[in-house]
Amino acid sequence: MRPDGVGTAIRAGVTWAVALMVVACGSADTAPPALGQATSTVGTTTAAPPVTSTTAPPGDTTGTSLDGGRVEHPSGFEFDYPEGWVEAGATIATEFAAGAECAAAKIVDFEPPTDTGQGQAGFVLHSVVQVCAVPVDDETLDEFMAAVYPETISSFEVTEIGGRQAYRIVDGLGELAFAQNDSYRFQLVTTVVADPELEAIRIEQVDGILETLSFG
């Protein structure tokens, strides 16, 4: 658990379903997102390919050692991820991500075949930590949040993540947070959708990743 209070475990109460987050954060009258709302993923933009096996790779289902790799983004954010996870680009579709530079770490525990001929991708069991960055404008983080969530800003917890002040909201399927340094504004999105026997491990792994997160 993270000592700054950000370590509240992410609870995934829905399994065997697509559960990605739609985050509307581009207009001043946008309400806080329903973090479990279904949406589609967007294509990865980094060299690391998505995991396509229907079972978790050996060695990634126990323990939380973050010896899988490290994301170091030019905007200044960085984090470690466990063995069995892979680095990717934008993975969770949000309005903020559409105009941002994104990096993610993810693990896919189940993905249906793509050649089913049914015209639908089906459900995916995966866990994701995604950070997106955009250059700052003249707004402080407080001003940005007040403009984007003028009626519902009280739904966010004001805390510290990655060494920076952050606004954070959590529900049963993941978390959404915003932070800012001198040059960039960041959006953090996480989700855990896993089989019940892997759920606790994935939650702990996501918490472990967030413990290493820094916004520079």
Q: Angle 173-215-149 (CA atoms, 0-180°, nearest 5)?
A: 55
User: Would you state the pLDDT for residue 115?
Assistant: 64
Domain that holds residue 94: 1-216
Tens digits of residue pLDDT in 136-178: 999 999 999 999 999 889 999 999 999 999 999 998 779 999 9
How many structural domains are present in the chain? 1
pLDDT along the chain (216 residues), means of 10: 36 31 38 39 34 38 71 95 94 93 95 65 86 95 95 94 96 91 97 94 96 94
Rg, Å, the chain Cα set: 16
| C-alpha triplet 124, 200, 109: angle, nearest 5° | 25
User: What confidence score (pLDDT) does residue 209 get?
Assistant: 97
Question: pTM for the full model?
Answer: 0.72
Q: How many CA atoms lie within 13 A of 206 on its CB side?
A: 32
Residue by residue, DSSP assigns 79-126 as: EEE-TT-EEES--B--HHHHTSEEEEEEEEEE---S--SSS-----EE
What span, in angstroms and rounded, lies between the C-alpha atoms of 40 and 213? 25
